[in-house]
Structure 1
Amino acid sequence: MPEQETARQTDAGRRAPLNRDRVLRAAVALADRDGIEALSMRHLAQELDVVPMALYKHVANKEQLLDGMVDVIVGEIDAPADGADWRTAIRQRVLSARRALLCHPWASRVIESRTSPTAVVLDYMNSVIGTFRAGGLSVDLTHHVMHTLGSRMWGFTQELFPAAPSAEQKAEPAVDAAMAARYPFIVEMAMAGAHREGAIVGGGCDDQFEFEFALDLLLDGFERLHQQGWTSTGRP
């Protein structure tokens, strides 16, 4: 019977030897399904059908668990493209990071909460920096480039415009008029363009387009400064 076969496979999966990789991937799956707020050592132990103490052989505490979950996500980012110029390689990796994070909506918050990067995270950062350096960018320019990229290196940013209010949340017309009178340019910007329902940026802007638009502007700027021989001490 299909149901019996599924049950046997599930039981076999639960009986598989517990190791760090299995613990981390189960934690990622749990957070994907129930949200990061639902993650606890006890809940994860129940998910794996083990006693909570069994987890501590593989992760010392929840902070180490979260570090490891970030490592799993970083492992989903594509490796550097062979033979690509630095601009293409960086663009591909950043967009790959974005795809990975979009699959795990909780991941950006966890990445931002980490204070001590793991070896996996450092490897990724080192690789990104190395791509700029291999492309001929100076140490000086690369230093400022990394500051400018910020969280875009991970495929996310803190968006400027909040989500648009729902029909129930919309203000009274008099309040709308007062807002428009006091903040005309903000209201103008909020009303500009075609907005998509359910998107994050601008109450419906095309999130992916806005992210790639900003990324391309930055990469173009980095290339221009590189070609100009820009330095932080003697800006041509």
Structure 2
Amino acid sequence: MPRRSDERSAVRPNSRLSREGIVAAAIDLADRDGLAGFSMRRLAQHLGVDAMSIYYHVRDKDTLLAAMTDAVATEIAAGDQPAAAGPWTEQLRALIMRARGTMLRHPWAARVIEERDNPTPAVLLHIERVLAIMRGGGCSVDLGHHAIHLLGSRILGFSQDLFDDNGDGAPVPDEWAKAMPHVAELAAAASHTGALGPCDDDAEFAFALDLLLDGLERRRIGAVA
């Protein structure tokens, strides 16, 4: 009796599919439903094909997620203009804020990047751009190394806050406020009705980025003084 071939190899590839088309459709689905609603079966439904035919182009879901984040990281450089003539800090700020805009369009991508052990090729190319800007601005290899650790995920335009302080949270209970008056004061000020108003995530991201870049520039100047 002839041996049955693996079910995956028994299905012929769908001529309508391509790896690029699958990745683009997967990004569209993840943008719409988030990772919680993402699966190979739902992707197949989204494409209008049999789920098994997708596996001729991508080995498994992890491979597909890596390709999706690679495509998203590639978007960061899609609108690249000739290198700015300004200070390296302004050039790097512009690149990182462009990365943030990309991540805001694809909010699921940050989680995938954080959960990966190794960066994808496009993410590495983005880091290469970061280092090229720093080296072109007179930063040492050592300072570039420190910057990669210091900036962390901010290089790719996202960061993880300790808690959500967008002004929608419940007020600090009175019994807690007595023991933590400064936390209560800040929570009240950062509420919708408080003096500071609800936090602007973009503004807070830019504020932290500016502080970090200013600190790196002071280190660069100190090293050459």
TM-score, with normalisation over the residues of structure 2? Answer: 0.83
Amino acid at match of 1:183: M
Residue 137 of structure 2 is aligned to residue 135 of structure 1: yes
Amino acid at match of 2:209: L
The one of the two structures with greater contact order (alpha-carbon pairs below 8 A, sep at least 6) is: 2
Q: What's the counterpart of residue 47 of structure 2?
A: 48
Q: 1:86 deviation in Å?
A: 1.7
Q: What's the counterpart of residue 68 of structure 1?
A: 67
Runs of 4+ displaced beyond 6 Å: none
**Residue deviations 1:170-219, cap 9 Å, x none?**
46xxx7211111111211222235649xxxxx992111111111111111
Q: 1:83 deviation in Å?
A: 3.6
Give the percent of matched residue pairs that are identical in Structure 1 and Structure 2: 44
SS at match of 1:71: helix
Amino acid at match of 2:181: P
In the alignment, structure 2 segments of 5+ residues that lack a partner are: 1-13
Q: What's the counterpart of residue 218 of structure 2?
A: 224
Q: What's the counterpart of residue 8 of structure 1?
A: none
Q: 1:64 deviation in Å?
A: 0.6
* Aligned partner of 2:155 among 153, 156, 160: 153
Q: Residues 34 and 161 from structure 1, CA distance in 2 versus in 1: closer, same or farther, beyond 3 angstroms?
A: closer
Residue 27 of structure 2 is aligned to residue 25 of structure 1: no
Residue 181 of structure 2 is aligned to residue 184 of structure 1: yes
CA–CA distance in 2 between the matches of 1:222 and 1:164? Answer: 29
**Residue deviations 1:143-180, cap 9 Å, x none?**
111111001001111113424685xx746xxx721111
SS at match of 1:229: helix
RMSD: 2.6
CA–CA distance in 1 between the matches of 2:25 and 2:45? Answer: 11
Q: What's the counterpart of residue 98 of structure 1?
A: 100
CA–CA distance in 1 between the matches of 2:113 and 2:133? Answer: 22
SS at match of 2:119: coil
In the alignment, structure 1 segments of 5+ residues that lack a partner are: 1-14, 197-201, 231-235
